[in-house]
Chains A and B, each alone.
Chain A
Amino acid sequence: MNRLLKVLFFALLVKPLVLLGLGLNTRQRNLLPQSGPAIIAANHNSHLDTLVLMSLYPLHQIHRVRPVAAADYFLSSRFLAWFSLKVIGIIPLERKHVRELDKLFNQSVSALEHGDILVLFPEGTRGQPEQLAPLKKGIYHLAKRLDSVPITPVIMRGLGMALPRGEALFIPYNCDVIIGKALSEYRDADGLLAQLSERFTELETHCLTKSSFEEHRS
């Protein structure tokens, strides 16, 4: 039932919206992990980020893609909680309990063990539109629990214009989705974050959309 809802939601709403309302310039799509366990680490600017990443997968695979999302936000109201858990299939993360690292990632770990593909936003929040915030270490603590799961970096650009944080007006905008090579060798948290931000910076150079005048001048 839930899977049917998810497939219908993506087939009838998300995929047409992404195709016509947005329009993606996808680069290196073949690098997207085809089977789990795998983690997709992407930058975060808009609620659309998750939907766009999931829409890259064919309908029969979509139930395998699970976004890890903040429980305090997505479970805050009854409808939103139902929609997030049943239709999108998020794995809720209690951001308050960061002290007990083991407990924090239990659900994510079991999903990975089950062979799911997790979508993670290491910036932790959508932050300022179209700007990369410092990355957080949580992704390392999750990945190390499963003996170096491959982490695929993805940079998206333009969605912060289409539907930024705190705005209700959607505007059509072409978006870049640049997928990088998976990272699978990392020793510690700082090393992983350094590798990730280096990949992110490199991937950003392939973007077509210019998000500001400043960037254009440089």
Chain B
Amino acid sequence: MKQHKPYNLLNKAEPYLWILPSVILMAIFIIVPIGFVFRMAFSQVTKAGLVKGFCGFANFSKVLQGAKFGMVLKNTIIWTILVVVLSTVLGFILALLLNNEFKGRKIARAIVVFPWATTLVIQASVWKFIINTDYGALNTLLKSLGIIQQNVNWTPTPEAFFGWEIACGIFVTIPFVCFTALSGLQSIDASYYEAATVDGASYFQKLWNITLPLVKPSLTVATVLNIIYVFNSFPIVWTITKGDPASRTDTLVTYLYKLAFYNGKQGEAAAVSVIGFLILLVCASVYMVSTLKKGDE
């Protein structure tokens, strides 16, 4: 037995050694930068980017006392909830449609991927062009169809602008939800539906009692990832409005970008980043724990 001890030890250590490179890569590219952001958030940073030493919670208190932080946080929550919820609902419906057998299904699936496969900046630029008052595609189309005679200003208020940004966010997020849900749908054994049909279950009864519970794990993963992606999304808001006018369409990410690179307040920007990180951590954890618990029950 004694001769086998080193071999056993090696055997036990082997899995850990295999994941070691990933752990090291994560440490370097994720944990270390997060550590530096935390350090910066608690430091006095000059406009030239020099870290001048520990300043406690000074950056946090400046950010929290700022007149705009509350509004920006509210915008971020509205942006995240609307984009995640609506894209999940629409993406799931689209997945149900694409899960049916019909002619041209492969082409339809390929088309759904397009918004996801295109760079967000390009997507947002296209949306900005479509809704432009003076030379936008929407006005041109409606005029050529004779529906309108004069150009319509589709973005007369900051709220309208924000609404278009949310619409763009939903449009680019749907494909991800759709394909995650589709993968879940395809793994459901057809015999469940056959049995339910024999028992006389309606379409919605099957959807509610078979499809949804079995797709739930896929949708949970998609939702958690979406909360993180959408909360941290920068290109759409930045390309369309840069958070203007007067931060009415800013989210935390565009707000902190302006703080860091337009106002030169990198310490405060890092503090906003830490606040966002903590909010995400709590939201994602609560959602994940509650969903998985329900699943276990």
Chain B binds chain A: no
Residues of A within 8 A of B (CB): none
Residues of B that sit less than 8 Å from A by CB: none
